[in-house]
């Protein structure tokens, strides 16, 4: 069973709570047989994205085959956010983009022009864009689906595939919008069966939301997936193949032209 | 020491959107997981509008499934009549879902059903987690008003109100966590701060699976008495079973 975690967090703290270093994340991945994890900031959602993007890149650089950093920018910054996204996606290590409208305090509908510009940049770089979803007032599943409608060439991922209360709308929207996917991250086996049956096994990706300070969540989220009773082929798609297909391809290009 | 027999404090019977479970299938899953007794409440139409059918489903499911019944407060006097009928059929508690049933826990319309539960000595489980109607803190406010009644935070604030639980439980001695949908780290926080007596094991079948939650409890690394409390003794005490 091969596993890539599409949704994890790596930072030095969350609010007042310190988070262990990347080595402990690697230990947790090893313990549960996870080949790699896509990692996002936490404190970067609260401000100063450029500094946090640089820090995330630095934290992952010792584990290039295991930790896949996603860039975060603040759409409220307008063109500066677009420029920051371009800057970060010039680094091939960044293989996706993460937004958390709830924590970042924006509704995409308020920032449609910037949102479209950002998603077009991501699409040009073939980087999937994951949005936290399932939480009013800024991150409802319907709000994120609208973003996918605005830029059909972008790959948009519902970060929690509906979370607690939006599972059924998420499943329908994933089915109906070709560029909308769902990260099964936090909801439960009964939800996964519905997401796969309605949205399609090719459009659901496993994620844990764990950070190095809470390895149990990784274990629980794997259990949520394996206990659903999916067919072996569908399970393989959800745990591994879909993420492998969706991630921005690895290239040798880096800023400054170095190999 | 022998493994404690397990009581599932929160299962669901009926059909709701994409979830479906009948008593036979629940019993099969209980047997597979080593669960002795399940406390089940109706879901779907039985929860929202057709209480007689929904409550009958959980009250007539056999001796190993005990009924956590519901009555929409907007039913008024009919709700109280339905609760009386359910008491006579052996119900062990009241379940409410403010988001699905359309009321605020603190709203005047809900007061008679809370009073009736208190009169019967029933615990009251209220689905928590979605903002507004299912606000954990709204439930805590009601619990403070009925200090002799045990209130159970159904689903434990899952997903995005989990962080309110430690404070709500600290401030509300009669508030208990239903651990059927919430993750282990949140359960551990409550156990560490308030003790194992404040946590109920639940399976949340058919949305969740026993295997997932039993492994979650295992990973907490609890001592034997704490484990027994969460898996068995608390439910036995609170539901009177």
What span, in angstroms and rounded, lies between the C-alpha atoms of A230 and B57? 28
Q: What is the pLDDT of residue A254?
A: 45
Put simply, whether A163 touches B (Cβ < 8 Å) is: yes
Put simply, whether A191 touches B (Cβ < 8 Å) is: yes
Q: Which residues of A touch B17 (CB under 8 A)?
A: 168, 194
From B4's Cα to the closest Cα of chain A, the distance in A is: 22
Put simply, whether B153 touches A (Cβ < 8 Å) is: no
Q: Does the distance separating the beta carbons of B184 and A216 come in below 8 Å?
A: yes
Q: Which of B185, B204, B219 sits opposite A188 (nearest CB)?
A: B204
Contact by Cβ (8 Å): A159, A180: no
Contact by Cβ (8 Å): B32, B210: yes
Query: What 3-state DSSP class applies to A234?
Result: helix
Q: What is the pLDDT of residue A259?
A: 34
Contact by Cβ (8 Å): A133, A100: no
Put simply, whether B204 touches A (Cβ < 8 Å) is: yes
Q: Does the distance separating the beta carbons of B206 and A190 come in below 8 Å?
A: yes
Residue pLDDT, tens place only, A58-117? 999 999 999 999 999 999 999 999 999 999 999 999 999 999 999 999 999 999 999 999
Token code pair at residue B180: 């059927």
From B1's Cα to the closest Cα of chain A, the distance in A is: 26
- Tell me what percent of the residues of chain B surpass a pLDDT of 90: 95
Nearest residue in chain B measured CA to CA from A194: B18
DSSP state string for A87-106: HHHTSTT---EEE-HHHHT-
Q: Where are the domains of chain B?
A: 6-239
Q: Which residues of B touch A171 (CB under 8 A)?
A: 18
Q: What is the pLDDT of residue B2?
A: 55
**Does pLDDT of B203 surpass 50?**
yes
Q: What is the pLDDT of residue B131?
A: 79
Domains of chain A: 4-249 (3.20.20.140)
Q: What is the pLDDT of residue A24?
A: 98
Q: What is the pLDDT of residue A232?
A: 98
Q: What contacts 24+ positions apart, CB below 8 Å, involve A79-87?
A: A79/A114, A79/A117, A81/A49, A81/A114, A81/A118, A82/A114, A82/A117, A82/A118, A82/A121, A84/A49, A84/A50, A84/A53, A85/A118, A85/A121, A85/A122, A86/A121, A87/A50
Mean pLDDT of B175-187: 97
Q: Is the ipTM of this complex over 0.90?
A: yes
User: Which residues of chain A, if any, have pLDDT below 70?
Assistant: 252-259
What span, in angstroms and rounded, lies between the C-alpha atoms of B91 and A124? 60
Q: Which of B99, B207, B216 sits opposite A191 (nearest CB)?
A: B207
- Residue B126's pLDDT band, with cuts at 50, 70 and 90, is very high
Q: Does the distance separating the beta carbons of B215 and A223 come in below 8 Å?
A: yes
What span, in angstroms and rounded, lies between the C-alpha atoms of B193 and B49? 39
Nearest residue in chain A measured CA to CA from B155: A164
What span, in angstroms and rounded, lies between the C-alpha atoms of B21 and B210? 14
Residues near A96 by Cβ (< 8 Å), separated by ≥ 6?
Answer: A38, A68, A70, A71, A127, A128, A129, A130, A247, A248
Put simply, whether A134 touches B (Cβ < 8 Å) is: yes
Q: Does the distance separating the beta carbons of A134 and B160 come in below 8 Å?
A: yes
**Does pLDDT of B79 surpass 70?**
yes
Put simply, whether A132 touches B (Cβ < 8 Å) is: no
Nearest residue in chain A measured CA to CA from B213: A220
Residue for token digits 């036979």? B24
State how beta strands A97-99 and A4-9 pair. Answer: unpaired
Residue pLDDT, tens place only, B5-21? 999 999 999 999 999 99
Put simply, whether B221 touches A (Cβ < 8 Å) is: no
Token code pair at residue A249: 């391809």
Q: Is A194 left (phi over 0), alpha (psi -120 to 50) or beta?
A: alpha
Q: Which of A134, A216, A228 sits opposite B185 (nearest CB)?
A: A216
Q: What is the pLDDT of residue B214?
A: 98
Q: What is the CATH number of domain B6-239?
A: 3.20.20.140
Residues near A2 by Cβ (< 8 Å), separated by ≥ 6?
Answer: A35, A236, A239, A240
Residue pLDDT, tens place only, B37-47? 999 999 999 99
Q: What is the pLDDT of residue B1?
A: 47
CA proximity to B141, closest of B118, B119, B174: B174
Q: What is the pLDDT of residue B106?
A: 97
């Amino acid at each position: 069973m091969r596993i890539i975690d599409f949704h994890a967090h790596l930072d030095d703290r969350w609010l007042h709570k310190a988070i262990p270093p990347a080595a402990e994340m690697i230990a947790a991945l090893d313990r549960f047989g996870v080949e790699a994890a896509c990692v996002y900031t936490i404190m970067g959602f609260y401000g100063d994205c450029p500094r946090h993007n640089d820090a995330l890149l630095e934290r992952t650089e010792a584990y290039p085959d295991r930790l896949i950093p996603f860039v975060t920018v603040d759409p409220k910054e307008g063109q500066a956010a677009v420029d920051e996204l371009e800057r970060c996606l010039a680094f091939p290590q960044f293989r996706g983009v993460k937004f958390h409208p709830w924590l970042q305090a924006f509704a995409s509908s308020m920032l449609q022009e910037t949102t479209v510009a950002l998603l077009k940049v991501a699409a040009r770089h073939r980087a999937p864009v994951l949005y936290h979803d399932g939480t009013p007032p800024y991150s409802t599943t319907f709000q994120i689906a609208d973003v996918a409608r605005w830029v059909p060439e972008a790959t948009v991922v519902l970060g929690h595939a509906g979370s607690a209360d939006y599972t059924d709308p998420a499943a329908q929207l994933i089915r109906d919008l070709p560029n909308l996917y769902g990260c099964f991250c936090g909801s439960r086996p009964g939800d996964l069966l519905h997401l796969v049956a309605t949205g399609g096994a090719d459009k659901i990706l496993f994620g844990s939301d764990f950070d190095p300070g809470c390895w149990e969540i990784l274990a629980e989220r794997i259990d949520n997936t394996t206990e659903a009773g999916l067919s072996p082929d569908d399970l393989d798609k959800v745990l591994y193949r879909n993420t492998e297909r969706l991630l921005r391809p690895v290239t040798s290009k880096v800023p400054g032209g170095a190999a | 020491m022998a493994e404690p027999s397990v009581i599932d404090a929160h299962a669901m019977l009926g059909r709701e959107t994409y979830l479906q479970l009948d008593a036979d299938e629940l019993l099969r899953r209980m047997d597979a997981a080593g669960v002795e007794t399940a406390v089940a409440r109706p879901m779907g139409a039985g929860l929202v509008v057709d209480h007689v059918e929904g409550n009958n489903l959980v009250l007539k499911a056999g001796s190993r499934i005990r009924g956590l019944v519901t009555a929409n407060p907007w039913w008024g006097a009919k709700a109280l009549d339905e609760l009386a009928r359910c008491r006579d059929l052996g119900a062990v508690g009241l379940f409410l879902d403010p988001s699905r049933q359309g009321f605020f826990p603190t709203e005047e319309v809900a007061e008679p059903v809370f009073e009736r539960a208190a009169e019967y000595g029933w615990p009251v489980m209220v689905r928590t987690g979605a903002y507004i109607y299912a606000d954990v803190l709204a439930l805590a406010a009601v619990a403070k008003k009925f200090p002799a009644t045990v209130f159970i935070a159904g689903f434990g604030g899952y997903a995005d109100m989990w962080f309110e639980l430690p404070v709500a439980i600290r401030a509300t001695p009669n508030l208990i966590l239903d651990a059927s949908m919430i993750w282990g780290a949140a359960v551990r926080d409550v156990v560490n701060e308030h003790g194992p007596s404040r946590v109920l094991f639940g399976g949340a079948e058919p949305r969740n699976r026993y295997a997932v939650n039993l492994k979650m409890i295992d990973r907490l690394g609890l001592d034997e008495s704490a484990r027994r409390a969460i898996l068995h003794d608390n439910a036995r005490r609170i539901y009177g079973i």
